[in-house]
Structure 1
Amino acid sequence: MAVMEVRNPRSGEMDYRFDPTSAAEVEAKAKKARDAQRAWFSGGLERRIAILKKWAESLGRHAADITAALSVDTGRTRISHEELGAVEHFIHGYCEAAPQVLAQPFRKFSHNDEIVFKTTLVPYPLVGVISPWNFPLVLSFIDAIPALVAGAAVMIKPSEVTPRFVEPLQRSIDEVPELAGIITLVRGAAETGQAVVANSDAIVFTGSIATGRKIAVAAAQAFIPAFLELGGKDPAVVLAGSDLARAATSILRSAIYNTGQVCYAIERVYVDASVHDDFVAELLRQAATLRRSFAAGDGGHYGPFIFEAQGAIVETQLQDAVARGAKILSGGKVETVGGAIWLDPTIVTDVDHTMKIMTEETFGPVVPVMKFKTVEEAARLVNDSVFGLSGAVFGPDTHTAGDFATLMEAGGVSINDTELQRGMMFDGEKTAFKMSGMGGSRYGATSILRYVRKRALIANEGGIKPLTELAEIEA
């Protein structure tokens, strides 16, 4: 396979190269992973927990190198440190929860106390993980860690757009000999990803609906489960009586975080007509306080686009909106400066659902605002989407906002704030609605159970039925 060249999001230069993992290499690595997995599982949960905690310590020792490489991959520093901290949090959180989640005591049949049974949990031998470029480290391990705790081996293919962090990450894994074959990292594009699906016993994918469909088809043909975490077009609703400053801050923070390159970013806003103008004015006032971050520690709030093609996608959506009558009140210009592709926080009004900016995933720092007259109209607009990842609603109080939240077709709805689901990693569950995903909740400690099959062991401690019970009876 040809050497792959990788663009630096801050300089625009192709300054990194790597050899992609071939399909034959993936197959060989998968065989080694399955061989290693048997001992990983049979060694027991306590041993797995000890080894994963040992790896967490190794991550700490390699933190500087991992975050430095990740910062080059993504063009941002603070969030790169957040990613590493999150992975360490995943390890400790799932290790703490696992003994209770995986406990399966002997029980008796409710109708026959002479029959005892126990459900044994058998992990899928090899779980494949294909992760995207917007959060390369976190989204490589948000699903891999619970699979490892469950007793599976994992094969992870991060995005070819952001591959630099894999080298120092691999060194942290190599420092823990017990993880040889248990965590396998491969790099490459579509061909490598296809090989991962073909050689896995279960597959997890985070990314676009279009690619998710292809993986779902491939998984169905291979007859393996697919857990798909796909795109979002998260709405926020601002009801009359809301704290407009609070709503503007929360919505803007969500839309601008990671330059809007977040699946659960707020990407469309519906505001009661009675407060629309005041809300837009507050949004503009706050947006004017934000500035570009050109280097680590400079106090800037957002960086350039990570993926070169993303700027063009957002620009096309903005052009389509303007052609259909939308007004851009701030930002709106995608520009290249020193090789980096930038878009300042962009506030758009006079939008409607004929525009791509309101119906397609944007993945950029854009806040389109549409007014509504009635709650019924707002609910209709919110749910007029193929997406159903998450959303938010602001109201004069929790009860009023909560009532509206129950009308929203989304897996997680934040009330009087945005992105609250980020904090419920081990505490609660949520699933994606519509085309935003399938395959059960990746949230909650019980997500460990996504990676096991259930085998019942059933014992009869009493008598058995005699053959005479087979005799036919009269009609």
Structure 2
Amino acid sequence: MSEQTSIPADPELDPTASYATDQSVIRRLAGLLRASAGTRTTYAPATGQPIAELPLSSPDDVLAAVRSARRAQRGWKNVSLADRAAILLRYHDLVLDHRHELMDLVIVESGKARKQAFEEVAHVAMTARYYGRKAAELLEPQRRSGMFPLLTRAEQRFVPKGVVGIISPWNYPLSMAMADGLPAVLAGNTVVHKPDSQTPLTALRALELLYEAGLPRDAWVPVNGDGPTVGGAIIQNTDYICFTGSTKTGRLIAQQAGERLIGCSLELGGKNPMLVLRDADVHRAAEGAVRACFNSAGQLCVSMERLYVADQIYDSFVTAFLDRVKRMKISAGTGWDVDMGSLVSKAQLETVTRHVENARAKGAVVLAGGKPRPDLGPLFYEPTVLSGVTPEMECFDNETFGPVVSIYRFSDESEAIERANEGEYGLNASVWTRDARRGRAVAAQLVAGSVNVNEGYGATFGSLDTPMGGMRASGLGRRQGVEGIRRYVDPQAIATQRLLPIAASHGIKDEAYAEFMTGALRVLKKFGRA
């Protein structure tokens, strides 16, 4: 991609020469881990340089962490809801105050650009503020309609699950580490958390700030290690599981949780579609598509991997889109002018390369990108746009999870909706039009847990009062909104009966009581009682 703008390595912008690799910081953060099973070195994706040698946890360490968290939960659940909420509101300020440190850690561990790292900072702060402000509304006991007016007083309480196990991913190492745990502890649970072993420092620094905000140490215990060993021990010993990752792993976790009869929430894969309708603002849609497809190098569950563009504007959209793609700045640097950073691992690079080469070999046309960039770093790949992708190609309906998007032309809107709904996934979608009402009508026909109109993913991702999660093979449960905190509690009904029992009494025979109840039920219906 000769037109592609790249930024050569600059020693002053080297992501391995920053706060994130200060050895005193690393030692302090490593001390937070419950770990005794040797060590593992982590590496910066953008440069291949070592970051830290961190201790690993054993299954016994996980069991000890769960025991500590369970003991702590007995007292934590009795801390007033107002006091727990106050911790989240203090945390909001601390996250913003320390945003540069957190962004440095995200950049060095995940390889993403600074502007995308800031998205994570903002999301965590907003999550803390939302749940801190909404705590009473979402968790205080609620009065409910009793069986009989005046005679039956009914209420619903929310009982914390106990110890929540969180297994968070590498692609959003700050946001996904903290956003699921904050409502869990607010609801009176404690947490045992395994961040991805590629990105533990980001989670540990974020957790250190939460301790500073007032959360007791044993209320959120971090462990470190691989998924099968450490993650498996978490699944076998906690009371609820929250996982973000692949659909394949999610199915296994759901099976294990089901065997234990515990709940789980799973945000899994996606092959997300973007529909550009005939009346869309071409330039606005093209700009939005760049962000939607290539933020975090396409390594986010809600990124767009399929673009469906109306015939009437197809040529002008493609021209505008490719112009923007070819002007993107890709670099290992940490400045605000970088548009896209590195892939996170050799495995991701191999998947992206295989998908593109498979499509190319079977007749797809590479409109932009299409090759690795080892001159920038070991794991860089150009933002890539394909046309002519057909069902026999691997990238047609399999998630690439990288900077690759396929573009398709459509002539009929109903056809575009049908094509967007194909496949097993249903995580996120996007619709672009000048008519917002029409956009919402199209959005309502898409099989996706979140749909953004005139935005790629940020509108739903940033609207904390709305639930976020997947349909079909894209997951179970929801984060954010009321659903995002109620998943961590068991509803408990308490009903108090006054004066008369709900049974025949005072010498009334059962048959007469049944006739009385029949009449009472008819009266209640007549007066609008539920």
TM-score (norm 1): 0.93
After TM superposition, the structure 1 = structure 2 runs for residues 292-371 of structure 1, keeping only pairs within 5 Å, are 292-297=330-335, 299-337=337-375, 339-371=377-409
CA contact (8 A) 1:144 1:154 kept: yes
Indicate whether 1:22 and 2:58 are aligned: yes
1:69 partner letter: L
CA contact (8 A) 1:129 1:155 kept: yes
Partner residue in 1 for 2:412: 374
Cα deviation, residue 56, structure 1 = 4.4
Cα deviation, residue 445, structure 1 = 3.9
Cα deviation, residue 86, structure 1 = 2.5
CA deviations 1:303-326 (Å, max 9, x no partner) are 111222111101111111112210
**Alignment: residue pair count:** 472
CA contact (8 A) 1:411 1:432 kept: yes
2:278 partner letter: A
CA contact (8 A) 1:267 1:358 kept: no
Distance 1:318 1:173, change over 3 A: same
What's the % identity of the aligned pairs?
30
Partner secondary structure for residue 241 of structure 2: strand
Partner residue in 2 for 1:208: 246
Distance 1:343 1:424, change over 3 A: same
Partner residue in 1 for 2:310: 272
2:114 maps to which of 77, 81, 85? 77
Segment of structure 1 superposing worse, 341-350 or 171-180: 171-180
Indicate whether 1:192 and 2:230 are aligned: yes
**5+ unaligned residues in a row in structure 1: which ranges?**
none
1:267 partner letter: E
Indicate whether 1:92 and 2:129 are aligned: yes
CA deviations 1:452-472 (Å, max 9, x no partner) are 101112212213343866868
Indicate whether 1:290 and 2:328 are aligned: yes
CA deviations 1:153-191 (Å, max 9, x no partner) are 111111111122244345434545651211111111121
CA contact (8 A) 1:98 1:448 kept: no
Partner residue in 1 for 2:430: 392
Partner secondary structure for residue 341 of structure 1: coil
1:222 partner letter: R
CA deviations 1:82-112 (Å, max 9, x no partner) are 3233222211210101111123244552434
Counterpart Cα distance in 2 of 1:107 and 1:442: 25
Distance 1:293 1:356, change over 3 A: same
Distance 1:395 1:49, change over 3 A: closer
Distance 1:413 1:86, change over 3 A: closer
**5+ unaligned residues in a row in structure 2: which ranges?**
1-36, 515-530
Indicate whether 1:242 and 2:297 are aligned: no
Distance 1:63 1:354, change over 3 A: same
Segment of structure 1 superposing worse, 353-362 or 396-405: 396-405
Segment of structure 1 superposing worse, 395-404 or 203-212: 395-404
Indicate whether 1:43 and 2:79 are aligned: yes
Distance 1:40 1:323, change over 3 A: same
Segment of structure 1 superposing worse, 343-352 or 10-19: 10-19
Partner residue in 2 for 1:221: 259
CA contact (8 A) 1:101 1:446 kept: no
Partner residue in 1 for 2:461: 422
Partner residue in 1 for 2:440: 402
Counterpart Cα distance in 1 of 2:410 and 2:118: 40
Counterpart Cα distance in 2 of 1:174 and 1:413: 35
Counterpart Cα distance in 2 of 1:467 and 1:129: 55
1:253 partner letter: R
Counterpart Cα distance in 1 of 2:94 and 2:321: 43
RMSD: 2.3
Counterpart Cα distance in 2 of 1:68 and 1:455: 44
2:453 partner letter: I
Partner secondary structure for residue 203 of structure 1: strand
CA deviations 1:425-470 (Å, max 9, x no partner) are 12x235421111112x313245221111011122122133438668
Counterpart Cα distance in 2 of 1:51 and 1:293: 38
Cα deviation, residue 339, structure 1 = 4.2
Segment of structure 1 superposing worse, 160-169 or 313-322: 160-169
CA contact (8 A) 1:108 1:114 kept: no
Partner residue in 2 for 1:443: 480
Counterpart Cα distance in 1 of 2:263 and 2:39: 32
Partner secondary structure for residue 340 of structure 2: coil
Indicate whether 1:138 and 2:175 are aligned: yes
TM-score (norm 2): 0.84
Partner secondary structure for residue 165 of structure 1: helix
Segment of structure 1 superposing worse, 57-66 or 10-19: 57-66
Cα deviation, residue 264, structure 1 = 0.7
1:33 partner letter: A
Counterpart Cα distance in 2 of 1:251 and 1:81: 19
Cα deviation, residue 2, structure 1 = 4.3
Counterpart Cα distance in 1 of 2:277 and 2:97: 48
1:68 partner letter: D
Counterpart Cα distance in 2 of 1:21 and 1:179: 21
Distance 1:288 1:300, change over 3 A: same
2:330 partner letter: R
2:44 partner letter: N
Indicate whether 1:150 and 2:187 are aligned: yes
Counterpart Cα distance in 1 of 2:108 and 2:42: 11
1:410 partner letter: A
CA deviations 1:23-69 (Å, max 9, x no partner) are 11111111111111121111220121233334445556655544333
Segment of structure 1 superposing worse, 8-17 or 123-132: 8-17
Distance 1:170 1:424, change over 3 A: closer
CA contact (8 A) 2:45 2:345 kept: yes
Distance 1:64 1:394, change over 3 A: closer
2:461 partner letter: R
